[in-house]
Amino acid sequence: MTRSVARLLAESLEAHDVDQVFCVPGESYVGLINAMSDMNSIRLIVCRHEGGAGFMAVADGRLRKRAGCCIVSRGPGLSNSLVSLHSAYHDATPMVMLVGQVERKDFGRQALQEQNYSRLLSDVTKSVIEVIEPDQASEAIARAFHLAESGTPGPVAVVLPEDLFDEKTDAEVDQPRPRVLAGPRADDLETLADMLAKSERPMILVGGALLADAIYDNAAFGDLQRLAEEWVLPISPTHRRPQLFDATHPNYGGYMGIRVPPAQISEMKKADLMVSIGERLTDTVSQSYSFPAAPQPQLPLVHVWPDANEIGRVFRPDLGIAASPHEVIKALLKTGAPANAEKRRAWVNGLHAIHRKLLAKEWEPTTDGVNFAAIVCEVDKHLAPDATVTTDAGNFGSFVHRYIGFKQGQIFLSSVVGAMGSGMPMAVAATLRRPGKQVVAFMGDGGALMAGNEIATAMQYGGAPIVVISDNKMYGTIGMHHHVRYPGRPFQESMKLTNPDFAAWAKSFGAEGITIRTDDEVADGIARAFSIKTKPVVVHCHTSAVQMSAWRRYSPPS
């Protein structure tokens, strides 16, 4: 059947279950928009900034079985979206980004907005696929989804020259590739079971690749819990994946990641075996490559990850298993727990007791604004078992990690590279993907104005996130770093922010706005936010700058 390349591309997206695409329109791909408007099966979510569109696609790739998809215009459009590619690449999140390009006849002339994407995107994508031949347009889409979703998932860019869309082709729609899964080798499984049986103080880290498996098969959550219970193992989700294991389950061994409290990490360091199931072991997780130490870990390390390239890239594991983390868990369950698993009970209980003590909902009062701990603890009371929580980057996030006891069934989304401007778009994507379900976004006054404009996108498409802004009137995190690195030096002026009335700002979009200035207003304000279910709500919290994070207070130099 003869059709335009634009039509073929749109049908190829549809064949890959793309039901919504995030974009900022550009003249370089109006041909594709034109074809999509005929089909009616793909909702075009028109955003306010390509960074926002990109982060929505990153979030969508964590909320559904297929890569999230966005389209950006060439040059300025793609440049704006780079942060989302950077985040998806580091976070092993599947994403397909379609990029407009100058006409083929102008390639290499530095025509208006031309960029060389193979060069520019080489460190933020798994692959850049340039479509030159009309007949290969559909194959390019199938390849892009396959590469984005397989092995170590990640972003793939498909570059589409402007003159391509109206050309005719007889090529058929190339169908999606089946998901390829690997299980553990029998010998490796036996070695792992043996190492676990001998270990008295194992640590089990679980991370993003296991979460990706759980999107395909929800049983991964229950299987992980069974493994923990039957094999008497402490489970430590990494800090961006708290929903992998209930924080109140007796086998929860404390989280691993950024700023693990000293009491917790010093106990964890007594481990005699570390098994990482689906966690990449980045610098934040490995405590700046000190636990486990890079390149030679100080304790036996087993690394399970779906791609052999990643295993051994930084650390030398004693055992590497290039397999789906869920397949490894299922295989261990089939093997059966060792008879002496109970010997680990005291170790598991000890780790959990430290975690429970740290999780206690306690904080000191503050006089320069509300302690953000009070707000987060109040939000926790209202969170539904299937709620989604997103965080932007900043110290306000430490309160979320400390005070919210995440459960399996809830969803946590954030940028693994700590990109400001991710929290709002991710929340918008979540409310569009999961209409009617609670979505709460936490952000600072800095991040709120970096991508807060996407609240307009939520309004336009009927999303209803609750946006909680901690307004401490500064880039607090960097103030803290300045203070720690240069004690006694002034930092307040250089980190200071002049902010709008965020409640009035929200109302100007047609959203709801609530202001919390004192401790007395916390309970009512948060309850009111959760009662509004039909439109976005912004809760403007005037918070303490003295309470620098959930763990640290500012004490002026004496």
Ligand X SMILES: Cc1ncc(C[n+]2csc(CCOP(=O)(O)OP(=O)(O)O)c2C)c(N)n1
Instruction: Write down the least CB distance from residue 173 to ligand X, Å.
Output: 38
Choice between 480 and 529, CB closer to ligand X: 480
The yes or no reply on residue 369 touching ligand X (CB under 6 A) is no
Burial of 345 (0-12, 13-18, 19+ CB in 10 A): exposed
Interface with ligand X (CB under 6 A), residue from 61, 369, 476, 525: 476
Instruction: Write down the least CB distance from residue 476 to ligand X, Å.
Output: 3
The yes or no reply on residue 26 touching ligand X (CB under 6 A) is no
The yes or no reply on residue 50 touching ligand X (CB under 6 A) is no
For residue 199, give Cα distances in angstroms to 192, 254, 266, 271.
11, 19, 18, 9
The yes or no reply on residue 478 touching ligand X (CB under 6 A) is yes
433-452 residues in contact with ligand X (CB under 6 A) are 444-447
Choice between 257 and 446, CB closer to ligand X: 446
Instruction: Write down the least CB distance from residue 445 to ligand X, Å.
Output: 5
Q: Which residue has the closest beta carbon to ligand X?
A: 444
Choice between 47 and 393, CB closer to ligand X: 393
Choice between 121 and 420, CB closer to ligand X: 420
Instruction: Write down the least CB distance from residue 187 to ligand X, Å.
Output: 44
Torsion of CA 547, 549, 550, 552, to 10 degrees: -70
Choice between 334 and 485, CB closer to ligand X: 485
For residue 114, give Cα distances in angstroms to 47, 204, 292, 313.
22, 47, 44, 35
The yes or no reply on residue 394 touching ligand X (CB under 6 A) is yes
Choice between 248 and 494, CB closer to ligand X: 494
Choice between 59 and 205, CB closer to ligand X: 59
Choice between 86 and 352, CB closer to ligand X: 86
The yes or no reply on residue 419 touching ligand X (CB under 6 A) is yes
Give the Cα separation of 146 and 175 in Å (integer): 11
The yes or no reply on residue 477 touching ligand X (CB under 6 A) is yes
The yes or no reply on residue 58 touching ligand X (CB under 6 A) is no
Neighbours of 507 (CB within 10 A): 13
Instruction: Write down the least CB distance from residue 501 to ligand X, Å.
Output: 16
The yes or no reply on residue 366 touching ligand X (CB under 6 A) is no
Quickly tell me which residue has 């010997």 as its tokens.
343
Instruction: Show the binding pattern over residues 456-475: x = contacts ligand X (CB under 6 A), - = does not.
Output: --------------x-x-xx
Q: Burial letters for 412-438: b for 16+ Cβ neighbours within 10 Å, e otherwise?
A: bbbbbbbbbbbbbbbbbbbbbbbeeeb
Instruction: Write down the least CB distance from residue 258 to ligand X, Å.
Output: 12
Secondary structure of 45-102 in HEC code, one letter for each residue: EECCCHHHHHHHHHHHHHHCCCCEEEEECCCHHHHHHHHHHHHHHHCCCCEEEEEEEC
Choice between 4 and 395, CB closer to ligand X: 395
Tokens found for residue 74 = 């060439």
Choice between 325 and 444, CB closer to ligand X: 444
* Residues 210 and 278: beta-carbon distance below 8 Å: yes
The yes or no reply on residue 423 touching ligand X (CB under 6 A) is no
Instruction: Write down the least CB distance from residue 532 to ligand X, Å.
Output: 24
Most distant CA pair in the chain: distance in Å?
79
Give the Cα separation of 144 and 364 in Å (integer): 51
* Residues 511 and 459: beta-carbon distance below 8 Å: yes
Give the Cα separation of 514 and 516 in Å (integer): 7
Instruction: Write down the least CB distance from residue 391 to ligand X, Å.
Output: 10
Residue in 426, 480, 371 with CA at minimum distance from that of residue 52: 426
The yes or no reply on residue 393 touching ligand X (CB under 6 A) is yes
Quickly tell me which residue has 């974009």 as its tokens.
23
The yes or no reply on residue 421 touching ligand X (CB under 6 A) is yes
Stretch touching ligand X by CB under 6 A, among 2-10, 70-78, 336-344, 391-399: 391-399
The yes or no reply on residue 418 touching ligand X (CB under 6 A) is yes
The yes or no reply on residue 171 touching ligand X (CB under 6 A) is no
The neighbouring-strand residues paired with 99 are 72, 159
Q: Which amino acid is present at 250?
A: P
Residue in 555, 535, 534 with CA at minimum distance from that of residue 545: 555
224-243 residues in contact with ligand X (CB under 6 A) are none
Tokens found for residue 20 = 């919504």
The residue count for binding ligand X (CB under 6 A) is 19
Choice between 138 and 547, CB closer to ligand X: 547
- SS3 at position 442: strand
Choice between 168 and 496, CB closer to ligand X: 496
Instruction: Write down the least CB distance from residue 345 to ligand X, Å.
Output: 39
The contact set with ligand X (CB under 6 A) reads: 393-396, 418-421, 444-447, 470, 472, 474-478
